[in-house]
C-alpha cells in the first residue's frame, strides 16, 4: 500500500474506535456526537482542523492524539493551506494576503501598478489571433494560483473563467488580461 | 514575467551535501527515519526490481514570508512502479475546499473556535 493510504487507514481506524463517524460526504471528515456535544475533525493529509461546541473535550482529544501519533498542537487555527485565519468571538476572517503577495513576487509583479478594474470593458478575447505565448507552462501556473485565490475573492471568478478558456494555446492578449488580473489583485490586497 | 528564486534549492544529493545547512537537514531526516524504524534491509528477491530514491530539498517559509527552516525529504521514485502490479490503492486524505469552508462557516455561526494540529512525519505511519 502507498504511504498516504496507509496513513489514512491508520488514523481513520483510530477515529472510528474512539467513537467518530466517517462522513458520507467527504472521507476526510469525522464527526463525533455525544450527550455533551459534538466534535468535528477535518484531515488534510498531515493537517487536522478540529472544532467543537464544548471547550472541555478538546483538551482530552488533543492529549490522546499527541500520545497516539506524533502530533504538534498548533493551538487556534491561524494558517491553513495558504489561507490566514483570524478568529474573534463573533467573527472568523479568512485572508489570502500572504499567498497573493508570494505569487506576485514569484511572477515578478511585486512593483506593478495597481488598477481598479479586473478586465477592460468590451475586450474580445479571441482563441486564434495574435502571437502565442512562449512560456505556456507559466501561463497555466499563474491560472492555477488565480483559481486558488477565488476562495477568498469570488469576484475574481468570472474573469478567471474567461482567461481559463485559453489554457491550451495562450496568446499575447490573454497574457495581458492575466497581467490585468494580477494588477487588480495588487489593488485589493 | 520572470520567476525570482530567493534561495537556491539543491536538486540532488551531490549539490546538497556540500552545503552544511542542507547536509544538516539530511542528517536530521535520516535520524527520524531511523527512530521510526522505517525500513529494514533485505535481500532483493529474484526477478524483483528495487526502486530508487532521491533527496528533495526545500526552504520552508512562515506565514509572514520569513524563512523558517531547511527541509530535506527522502523520496522513493514511485513513478517506477506500475499500477496493478506494484500497487492498487491510491488515496490521500485531502478534504474538499467546500468542506473546509462549511466547517469554518459553521464555527462562525455557532461561535465555536477552530483548532489545528499537525502530524510529524506523516508518511512514516503504517504497519
Following DSSP, what letter does each residue of A18-65 receive, concatenated?
Answer: TT-EE-SS-TTEEEEE-SS-EEEEEEETTEEEEEES-HHHHHHHHHHH
Inspect the interface and report whether the beta carbons of A1 and B4 lie closer than 8 Å: no
Phi, psi of A159 (to 5 degrees): -60, -35
State mean pLDDT over B107-118: 84
User: What does the pLDDT average to over A40-58?
Assistant: 80
Q: A171 and A101 share a domain?
A: yes
Are residues A125 and A64 located together in one domain of the fold? no
The total domain count for chain A is 2
- On average, the pLDDT of chain A sits at 83
Q: Are residues A124 and A159 in the same domain?
A: yes
Both A180 and A104 in one domain: the answer is yes
Per-residue model confidence as pLDDT tens digits over A84-134: 888 888 888 888 888 888 888 888 888 888 888 888 777 787 777 878 888
Domain membership of residue A88 (yes or no) is no
Burial tier of A46 (Cβ tally within 10 Å: 0-12, 13-18, 19+): buried
Residue A106: list chain B partners with CB under 8 A: 3-4
Q: Is residue A137 a part of any domain in this protein?
A: yes
Of the three residues A75, A106, A136, the one that is the final residue of a domain is A75
More confident residue, B48 or A143: A143
Together in a domain, A113 and A55: no
Q: Which residues of B touch A78 (CB under 8 A)?
A: 63, 116
Taking the Cβ of residue B123 and every Cβ of chain A, the question of whether any pair is shorter than 8 Å is answered with: yes
Residue A80: inside a domain: no
The answer as to whether A28 is a domain residue is: yes
B3 in reach of chain A (CB within 8 A) = yes
In chain A, residues 140-169 whose CB comes closer than 8 Å to chain B? 142, 151
Same domain flag for A171 and A108: yes
Residue A89 lies in a domain: no
Q: Is the pTM of this model over 0.90?
A: no
Range of the domain at A178: 97-188
Provide the ipTM.
Answer: 0.76
Task: Let me know if residue A29 belongs to a domain.
Answer: yes
Amino acid at each position: 500500500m502507498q504511504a498516504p493510504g496507509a496513513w489514512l487507514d491508520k488514523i481513520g481506524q483510530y477515529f472510528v474506535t474512539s467513537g467518530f463517524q466517517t462522513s458520507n460526504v467527504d472521507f476526510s471528515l469525522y464527526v463525533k456526537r455525544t450527550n455533551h456535544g459534538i466534535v468535528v475533525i477535518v484531515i488534510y493529509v498531515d493537517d487536522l482542523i478540529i472544532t467543537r461546541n464544548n471547550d472541555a473535550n478538546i483538551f482530552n482529544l488533543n492529549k490522546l492524539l499527541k500520545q497516539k501519533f506524533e502530533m504538534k498542537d498548533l493551538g487556534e487555527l491561524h494558517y491553513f493551506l495558504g489561507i490566514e485565519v483570524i478568529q474573534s468571538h463573533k467573527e472568523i476572517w479568512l485572508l489570502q494576503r500572504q499567498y497573493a503577495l508570494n505569487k506576485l513576487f514569484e511572477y515578478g509583479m511585486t512593483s506593478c501598478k495597481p488598477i481598479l478594474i479586473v478586465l477592460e470593458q468590451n475586450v474580445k478575447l479571441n482563441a486564434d489571433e495574435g502571437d502565442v505565448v512562449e512560456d505556456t507552462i507559466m501561463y497555466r501556473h499563474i491560472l492555477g494560483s488565480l483559481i486558488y485565490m477565488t476562495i477568498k475573492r469570488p469576484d475574481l471568478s468570472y474573469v478567471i473563467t474567461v482567461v481559463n478558456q485559453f489554457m491550451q494555446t495562450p496568446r499575447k492578449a490573454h497574457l495581458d488580461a492575466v497581467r490585468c488580473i494580477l494588477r487588480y489583485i495588487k489593488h485589493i490586497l | 514575467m520572470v520567476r525570482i528564486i530567493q534561495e537556491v534549492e539543491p536538486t540532488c544529493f551531490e549539490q546538497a551535501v556540500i552545503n552544511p545547512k542542507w547536509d544538516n537537514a539530511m542528517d536530521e531526516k535520516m535520524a527520524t527515519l531511523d527512530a521510526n524504524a522505517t525500513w529494514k534491509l533485505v535481500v532483493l528477491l529474484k526477478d524483483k526490481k528495487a526502486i530508487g530514491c532521491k533527496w528533495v530539498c526545500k526552504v520552508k517559509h512562515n506565514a509572514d514570508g520569513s524563512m523558517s527552516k531547511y527541509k530535506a525529504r527522502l523520496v522513493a521514485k514511485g513513478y517506477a512502479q506500475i499500477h496493478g502490479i506494484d500497487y492498487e490503492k491510491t488515496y490521500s486524505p485531502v478534504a474538499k475546499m467546500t468542506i473546509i469552508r462549511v466547517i469554518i462557516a459553521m464555527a462562525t455561526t455557532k461561535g465555536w473556535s477552530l483548532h489545528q494540529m499537525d502530524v510529524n512525519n506523516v508518511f512514516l505511519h503504517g504497519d
